[in-house]
Amino acid sequence: MALALQAFLVALCITAFHQNLADAKVSKSMYLTWGTQHATIQGENLNLVLDQTSGSAAMSKRGFLFGSIEMLIKLVPGNSAGIVTAYYLSSTGPKHDEIDFEFLGNVSGQPYIVHTNIYTQGNGTKEQQFYLWFDPTADFHNYTIHWNPTEIVWYVDSLPVRVFRNYENQGIAYPNKQGMKVYSSLWNADNWATRGGLEKINWTGAPFTAGFKNFRARACKWDGAASISVCAATSRANWWTSPIYSRLSSGKLGQLQWVRNNHMIYDYCKDTKRFNGKMPSECSKQQF
């Protein structure tokens, strides 16, 4: 009896796990939407290419609401000034939600900027920027977004670099009612990206390639409005609702502080000039 029950529970867990796992391969879960003449998607690998004719982009077939969205990315090496590689989640419509990782290239030997942002109900202006503590062009690194009803955490190689907490009950919008798809793109942003647009793309180095692989969405599949409560429900299958993910552990908080103290270069919450003293309301809340 006990054994049968145990076997049943194990089977239940396995089923629940599989239900929340999107098709593992990039080629099964994403498709090219731009620059299809030169970008490639095969097995676990997605290569985005930029040349003078166009950049390229891919997106996921389905949308998600909460979970862990992982991608391993190897950025454009050498002189990547003016080039932006993006990896983000976004819903559609005028009041869209969006959670961003963007990588702003640089001239050889100078550091990339990791630019993060979040849009809630169509409103962005929540940028934080970082330098990395490794060369992101030498190898693939893990860029993951953990998103649950209480907070969103941006991870780089499992170190939390940013947290956005849910203060919806205090009138601050939080992305929890719109499914988001996953997007990757490589494009020319030399009007603003590198040293504020001073460095232009040197096309001698083209075509430029950014590698993406091992896309993994351990996430709740968005199936329309019913998902709003289904994906937020506290249950074992909805692992992201477990209390251990509602706040970073003290060890993870220490890592976040290390990143902020040593690698952060911009925080909108400290930009009093920009907001003319009228800071966004979440800036006065406990942020992590």
Residues acting as catalytic residues: 98, 102
Q: Which structure tokens are listed for 180?
A: 């988001």
- Residue with Cβ nearer ligand NAG (33 or 214): 214
113 contacts ligand NAG (rule: CB under 6 A): yes
User: One symbol per residue from 28 to 67: x for binding ligand NAG (CB under 6 A), - otherwise; what is it?
Assistant: ----------------------------------------
SS3 call for 96:
coil
Q: Which structure tokens are listed for 245?
A: 């993910």
Q: Whole-angstrom Cα distance, residue 215 to residue 182? A: 10
> DSSP assignment, residue 199?
S
SS3 call for 245:
helix
77 contacts ligand NAG (rule: CB under 6 A): no
Q: Of 90, 106, 185, 238, which one interacts with ligand NAG (CB under 6 A)?
A: 106
- Residue with Cβ nearer ligand NAG (32 or 148): 148
Let me know the angle formed at the C-alpha of 85 by 45 and 146, rounded to the nearest 5 degrees.
75
Q: Whole-angstrom Cα distance, residue 217 to residue 238? A: 13
- Residue with Cβ nearer ligand NAG (16 or 279): 279
211 contacts ligand NAG (rule: CB under 6 A): no
Q: Which of 228, 216, 239, 243 lies closest to 13 in space, CA to CA?
A: 239
Q: Which structure tokens are listed for 7?
A: 């076997």
- Residue with Cβ nearer ligand NAG (111 or 211): 111
Site for ligand NAG in 256-275 (CB under 6 A): none
- In the block, tokens 């009612």 appear at 177
- Residue with Cβ nearer ligand NAG (211 or 280): 280
155 contacts ligand NAG (rule: CB under 6 A): yes
Q: Please give the backbone phi and psi of residue 130, each rounded to the nearest 5 degrees, phi first.
A: -140, 155
Nearest distance, CB of residue 239 and ligand NAG, angstroms: 11
SS3 content of the chain, % helix, strand, coil (to 5): 25, 35, 40
Site for ligand NAG in 166-205 (CB under 6 A): 193-195, 202, 204
110 contacts ligand NAG (rule: CB under 6 A): yes
Q: Whole-angstrom Cα distance, residue 84 to residue 69? A: 20
Q: Which stretch binds ligand NAG (CB under 6 A): 13-21, 87-95, 104-112, 221-229?
A: 104-112
Q: Whole-angstrom Cα distance, residue 276 to residue 95? A: 25
Under the rule (CB under 6 A), what is the footprint of ligand NAG? 68, 70, 104, 106, 110-111, 113, 123, 125, 142, 144, 155, 158, 193-195, 202, 204, 214, 280
